[in-house]
């Protein structure tokens, strides 16, 4: 539903799952990592936490991106930065992975519209996130803190 008629209950539910869920996961896992003096937390955001959806690609598709989704994923990125700077000196790195346009049997005309607008010309295969996850979890990223690693085929470069 459009923002002017979006139900508050739906807003609260989406924020509870995406943003509060991320906070609670960080809080619980982070406490254990802080006690050990090391660890790497990887939050999952979304392309629409970085940029607004291109609403035109959704027309006549029965797919929607509600306002609360974008707001909650933007909040996950801010949560990551906040905790990243708070916990880095205590040995816990907090970073974020932002996938963009993950293919999940999307219907036409959405698929062709998305592909036409993405520099790489296609949606992301979820397997393509493996390298980013391994990087953020490993010592290869030992000096990366509060970062939002965007894997989107160039969508946010435009």
The structure tokens 């607008």 sit at 117
CB 70 within 8 A of CB 58: no
Backbone angles phi, psi at 155, to 5 degrees: -50, -45
Distances (CA, A) of 49 to 36, 52, 106, 118: 31, 7, 20, 17
**Candidate list 48, 58, 69, 82, residue with the active-site label:** 69
Identify the sign of the CA torsion 12, 150, 63, 125.
Answer: negative
Query: In 10 A of CB 134, how many CB atoms?
Result: 11
Active site residue 69: yes
The single-letter DSSP state of residue 60 is T
Q: Give catalytic residues, as residue numbers.
A: 69
């Amino acid at each position: 539903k459009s923002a002017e008629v979006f139900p508050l209950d739906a807003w609260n539910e989406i924020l509870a799952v995406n943003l509060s869920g991320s906070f609670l996961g960080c809080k619980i896992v982070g406490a254990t990592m802080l006690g050990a003096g090391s660890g790497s937390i990887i939050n999952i955001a979304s392309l629409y936490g970085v940029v607004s959806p291109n609403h035109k690609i959704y027309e006549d598709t029965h797919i929607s991106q509600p306002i609360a989704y974008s707001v909650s994923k933007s909040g996950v990125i801010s949560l990551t930065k906040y905790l990243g700077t708070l916990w880095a000196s205590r040995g816990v790195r907090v970073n974020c992975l932002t996938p963009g346009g993950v293919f999940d049997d999307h219907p036409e005309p959405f698929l062709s519209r998305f592909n036409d607008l993405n520099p790489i010309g296609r949606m992301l295969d979820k397997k393509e996130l493996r390298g980013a996850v391994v990087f953020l979890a490993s010592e290869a990223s030992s000096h990366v803190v509060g970062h939002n690693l965007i894997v989107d085929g160039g969508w946010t470069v435009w």
